[in-house]
Structure formats: C-alpha cells, structure tokens
Amino acid sequence: MEDARKPLPPITSRQAIAERLCQTREALGLRQIDVCRATGIRPTAYSNYETGRNRPNVEDMIRYAEVFGVTLDWIYRGDPSGLPHRIAKVVLKYG
C-alpha cells in the first residue's frame, strides 16, 4: 500500500512572511494600528512580524486570518489560491 502522506512544502522565511503581511495590510488599505485593533495583536509584536524580526505565532495568525479572510497557507507558505479576489488582485501585482 502506498503511503498517502506527502511531504509538506517548507514554511517560507520570516522575511517572506513579513512581506505578505505587509502586502495584505496595504491591499486592505489599513495601517498597522488598524490591524492590531482588529485582531488584538500587540502593536510591538505585529511590527516585529512585518519587519521580519520575529516569525508570527500561529495563534495570532489564526486570528488575523479569521478577521481579514485570508488563509494560513497564504501567510506561511505564499499560496494565494484561497485569497479573496480583492486582496489577490493587489498582492499578486507585487510578485
């Protein structure tokens, strides 16, 4: 019997994640403080996520994904297939 488990693609670098967070925020027309107020993420923590200083923790990104309608696959892996159209058309221009 063939093993159905496929290896997962690697999680991308902190800097790539930071760029996607910034692109998403800009596509939504928000400031960092707006993101923090909507998600409850501390401003210092979020700023560190967007600069690539720290890798975002999963709990914060689950909240972020729920509030802004994006997927964890987009945030951590760069897969745009689950993005809402209004965000995808903006962020895909960057790439």
The answer as to whether 33 is a domain residue is: yes
The answer as to whether 3 is a domain residue is: no
Per-residue tens of pLDDT for the chain, all 95 residues: 455 666 655 667 899 999 999 999 999 999 999 999 999 999 999 999 999 999 999 999 999 999 999 999 999 999 999 899 888 888 877 65
Residues contacting residue 38 through CB under 8 Å, at least 6 positions apart: 30, 67, 68
The answer as to whether 9 is a domain residue is: no
Q: Locate 89 and state its tokens.
A: 């058309």
Closest CA to 26 of 77, 80, 89: 89
The answer as to whether 2 is a domain residue is: no
The total number of structural domains in the chain stands at 1
pTM of the model: 0.84
The confidence score (pLDDT) of residue 93 equals 76
The confidence score (pLDDT) of residue 8 equals 57
Task: List the domain range (segments joined by +) for residue 29.
Answer: 14-94
Neighbours of 18 (CB within 10 A): 19
The confidence score (pLDDT) of residue 12 equals 77
The answer as to whether 6 is a domain residue is: no
The answer as to whether 71 is a domain residue is: yes
Neighbours of 95 (CB within 10 A): 9
- CATH code, domain carrying 39: 1.10.260.40
The answer as to whether 42 is a domain residue is: yes
The answer as to whether 36 is a domain residue is: yes
Burial per residue of 42-73, b for 16 or more beta-carbon CB atoms within 10 angstroms, e otherwise: eeeebbbbbebebebeeebbeebbeebebbee
